[in-house]
Amino acid sequence: MNYRRLVCVPLLALTVALAAGACSSDDDKADSSTSTTAATSTTASTSTSAVGNVLPPVVLNAETTSATVKPGTVVTFDVGDPGEGRFVATSEDPKVFRVEGEGKVEGTATVNAGGVAVAPGTTKVSVQYMGSTNGVGAPTTFTITVE
């Protein structure tokens, strides 16, 4: 078994297990009352090296606010630790990008909001903090282009 396959197989298993969202680092703490919006945009794109028919996930954050992906690609939004609240994602066009999960703490893991690219087009996805007791934060807007 070559090194590439040795690395890709565990990543494939992790991708499938976290299809609704990826885990955040505990170092990424978000203020419970606000979210940040990136001043500049960096674009992420999917790699052409997929294992079988499964595409690698794309993780966007405040520094990388747009991505060009293929249909079927899982995209997650790493906007920090929601603490007692949650991060809710909303797609302007669910026919292009369908949101499938919110960012929240589940036991000892922090799960990011995320979804899946559905069909060719471009849409904006807004991710907003919803506090458990202290209101909502400013949304962070991401641009998803599906080719």
Distance CA 48, CA 7 (A): 16
Residue carrying structure tokens 């297990």:
17
Q: 94, 12 in Cβ contact below 8 A? A: no
Tens digit of pLDDT per residue, the chain (147 long)? 443 433 344 444 444 444 444 444 444 444 433 333 333 344 555 444 555 677 679 999 999 999 999 999 999 999 988 888 999 999 999 999 999 999 999 999 999 999 999 999 999 999 999 886 666 788 999 999 999
In the chain, the domains with their CATH numbers are 3-146 (2.60.40.2020)
Q: 144, 75 in Cβ contact below 8 A? A: yes
Q: Amino acid identity of 41?
A: S
CA 13, distance to chain mean position in Å, is 17
Distance CA 58, CA 45 (A): 8
- pTM, 2 dp: 0.64
